[in-house]
Chain A
Amino acid sequence: MKFYEYNVREIFSLEGIVTTYGEVALSPLEAYEIAKKMQSPVVLKAQVLTGGRGKAGGVSFAENPEAAKVAASELFAKKIKGYHVNKILVAKKELLKHEYYLGITINFQSRKTSLIFSTEGGVDIEELAVKNPDKIVKVDIDPVIGLQDYHLLPLAKTLNYDKELFSQLQSICKKLYTIYTKYDCVLVEINPLALVEGKREKRLIAIDAKLESDDNANYRQANLTEMWDETTEEKVELIGKRAGFVTIKLNGIVSIVSNGAGNAIYALDLLNKYNISTANILDLSGGATPDKVQKAVDVVIQDEDVKVILFNVFGGITRCDEIAKGIVQSLENIPSNIPVICRLQGTNREKGIKILNDSGLDAFTYLEDAIKKIVDLINKQGDLK
């Protein structure tokens, strides 16, 4: 799950990472009120789930409440990289003496956790990795051991061993690592983490906040699932998710219902070779029961793009007869103008094929044959396209 900046700031506050003062505005008037309350220049940031927001015009500044109202109405009218702006974070504008980058992420290559720090914050970290890689410090952390003090020594070096600054950075790193494990993060990032000079002291403050959590951990992240904005999901993907299926929405005409992602992707590839595009993919996962199959059909037919349904099953833990029963059960819910093509292989194949044949449905053993049937159908019924 991905989260808006204002959500992540709430988590930061809860876990002791200092952010700038700010509130969410749902309208230009609210932006005006917030700026008036703050009695200081503000920065207005569009709350959208995409990076590169600044470059795309999603960040504005305002010296006073009137200007904030104007800036807000401009932002609400914009689309930032295709995303609508429904919420704006109005935050106190701080004078940033220096901008750093700090992030903690799962390192899929090394299969460890990586803590990444740079003294060149405020820019796209991936760009920096290409242009100026020696400005990036990357520390691999063994998750069995967790973050230790010695992991942070390379960071001290980049700060020229400034004790005061490093002490603050250490504290923030530890809190960020706590957030990373506590909230099952794939990535949690502060860019920029800025040095702000006050009258008496210098402080490190999180100016931005980003967090992406692991969907597999949703069951144990009640707070996160509550925070999550489901309107950012595709309709069919959301319906599928609620029904318990991994569902992928694409923009073609064939619905692929499969007992495994690999086989589904392969069917997508094969259809593509014949210039036929896929409307959606639904993964039944292993061991599906007839009721589960029926539930799956209920999901895919809510996708208005679907003109053909392809069942592509090579059963291991999945039993073909169970799938076949489910298909037959769901026939009455499938509009008659949507052909159903079935391919069954693997566990209990013969039983499954018999059940389908008895109901008047063709059943193919090989995927290539099922695909060819779809090609024929589409060529004959030109209007299917």
Chain B
Amino acid sequence: MSILINKDTKLIVQGITGREGTFHTRLMKKYGTNVVAGVTPGKARTHVDDIPVFDTVLEAKMDTNANTSILFVPPRFTRDAIIEACEARIELIVTIAEGVPLQDMLFCVNYCKKSDCKLIGPNTPGIISPGKSKVGFMSDMIYKEGPVGIMSRSATLSYEAANNLSNEGIGQSTVVGVGGDPICGSTFLDLLPLFEQDAQTKVILIIGEIGGANEEIAAQYAKKNISKPLVAFIAGEAAPEGKRMGHAGAIVHPGGEGGAQKKKHILKENGVIVVEKLTEISNEIIKILSNIKEVTG
């Protein structure tokens, strides 16, 4: 079944006529995503291949009844593009840009919440439900359809994890990049109930890293509210305190707050299976899946 995106997804690409917009629209289409329209102000009545381009999201939505939008839009125009999509009643907005000002995201997160619009990102490769739909720029050949739901702060580590699983024959239901920024549209906590309700997802995998408390908050929630097993990998064991490690959100404060050790400890306390190496993920999940099989017969 998958979460967020599936065969019913009707996608608008905001920024479709840009270099990355066009390139990845073609790859998404090739994968089977139903790309129904593009938006670039000033380019209405043109086409990218056979996809119609509109000046505004509202016009695109009215013409095609799109329900999802992906933003191939620079950081400084991202806030405007998100609000435009939200106002046009798009249900799911995926924003990929890295470098969006924090206060812009703060505004957008709170604005979208009021309209019941789901926001994913920023600083994310997007979402893929293997076999159904791809809304993003991940390299789709590494994914397989299957029972593992993945949510990750790091794009590259989500590729590693999915690749590892697929190589062992274990597929994924949906892989969501929550993004590397400290303020993101949907946190691990926001996505847990979706995975819990999804019949296809049997195991949930969290790829986390140093900084913030999203992993801990998700684990504490999961202990009481999520019946499906959780596995986690946390990057940044070796990161020094006080240094922002690339991702705006990846920093261990002096005193250890946000550090990998502490995170893993709290995760384990709340029943999450924590793996030390990415390559161990498939081993653990194979065990879990065979246990489930035994129990359900």
* Chain A min CB distance to B23 (Å): 9
* Chain A min CB distance to B182 (Å): 5
Among the 9-residue stretches A70-78, A109-117, A372-380, the one with 4 or more Cβ atoms under 8 Å from chain B is: A109-117
A5 at the interface (CB under 8 A from B): no
Q: What B residues does A220 contact at CB under 8 A?
A: 76, 101
* Chain A min CB distance to B238 (Å): 4
Q: For residues 193 through 240 of chain B, which have their beta carbon under 8 Å from a beta carbon of chain A?
A: 207, 209-210, 212-213, 217, 235-240
* Chain B min CB distance to A291 (Å): 15
Q: What A residues does B238 contact at CB under 8 A?
A: 268-269, 271-272, 278
Q: What B residues does A285 contact at CB under 8 A?
A: 98
Indicate if the CB atoms of B137 and A317 lie closer than 8 Å.
yes
Indicate if the CB atoms of B137 and A316 lie closer than 8 Å.
yes
Indicate if the CB atoms of A283 and B159 lie closer than 8 Å.
no
**Of residues B100, B183, B217, B246, which shows the largest number of chain A Cβ atoms within 10 Å of its Cβ?**
B246
Q: What A residues does B207 contact at CB under 8 A?
A: 262
B160 at the interface (CB under 8 A from A): yes
Interface flags, A286-324, vs B, CB<8A=1, else 0: 110000000000000000000000000011110000000
B31 at the interface (CB under 8 A from A): no
Q: What A residues does B29 contact at CB under 8 A?
A: none
A233 at the interface (CB under 8 A from B): no
Indicate if the CB atoms of A108 and B183 lie closer than 8 Å.
yes
**Of residues B24, B156, B158, which shows the largest number of chain A Cβ atoms within 10 Å of its Cβ?**
B156
A261 — nearest CB in chain B belongs to which residue? B246
B284 at the interface (CB under 8 A from A): no
Indicate if the CB atoms of B156 and A250 lie closer than 8 Å.
no
**Of residues B125, B182, B238, B244, which shows the largest number of chain A Cβ atoms within 10 Å of its Cβ?**
B238
Give the residue of B110, B155, B213, B237 whose beta carbon is less than 8 angstroms from that of A262.
B155
- In whole angstroms, how far apart are the Cα atoms of A261 and B236 in the complex? 10
Q: What A residues does B289 contact at CB under 8 A?
A: none
- In whole angstroms, how far apart are the Cα atoms of A367 and B163 in the complex? 12
Q: What B residues does A260 contact at CB under 8 A?
A: 154-157, 180, 246
- In whole angstroms, how far apart are the Cα atoms of A186 and B244 in the complex? 14
* Chain A min CB distance to B287 (Å): 21
A263 — nearest CB in chain B belongs to which residue? B156
Q: What B residues does A345 contact at CB under 8 A?
A: 159-160, 163
Q: How large is the interface on B (under 10, 10 to 19, 20 to 34, 35 or more residues)?
A: 35 or more
A186 — nearest CB in chain B belongs to which residue? B102
A64 at the interface (CB under 8 A from B): no
A143 at the interface (CB under 8 A from B): yes
- In whole angstroms, how far apart are the Cα atoms of A196 and B109 in the complex? 41
- In whole angstroms, how far apart are the Cα atoms of A302 and B88 in the complex? 49
- In whole angstroms, how far apart are the Cα atoms of A111 and B180 in the complex? 15
Indicate if the CB atoms of A246 and B159 lie closer than 8 Å.
no
Q: For residues 326 through 377 of chain A, which have their beta carbon under 8 Å from a beta carbon of chain B?
A: 345-347, 367-368
Interface flags, B150-181, vs A, CB<8A=1, else 0: 00111111111001000000000000000010
A259 at the interface (CB under 8 A from B): yes
A11 at the interface (CB under 8 A from B): no
Indicate if the CB atoms of A265 and B246 lie closer than 8 Å.
yes
> With A113-B106, A268-B238, A272-B238 given, is the CB distance from A316 to B247 under 8 Å?
no
B250 at the interface (CB under 8 A from A): yes
Q: What B residues does A271 contact at CB under 8 A?
A: 238
* Chain B min CB distance to A252 (Å): 10
B243 at the interface (CB under 8 A from A): yes
B182 — nearest CB in chain A belongs to which residue? A108
A184 at the interface (CB under 8 A from B): yes
Interface residues of B (CB under 8 A from A): 20, 24, 75-76, 98-103, 106-107, 109-111, 114, 125, 136-139, 142, 152-160, 163, 180, 182-183, 207, 209-210, 212-213, 217, 235-240, 243-250, 278-279
Interface residues of A (CB under 8 A from B): 106, 108-109, 111-113, 142-144, 181, 184, 186, 214-217, 219-220, 246, 248, 250, 258-266, 268-269, 271-272, 278, 281, 283, 285-287, 314-317, 345-347, 367-368
In the complex, 6 of the A-B residue pairs with CB atoms within 8 angstroms, ordered by the A residue number, are A108-B183, A143-B110, A248-B244, A286-B125, A314-B159, A315-B139
Q: Which 8 A-B pairs have the closest CB atoms?
A: A262-B154, A261-B246, A263-B156, A260-B156, A272-B238, A217-B101, A262-B157, A317-B137
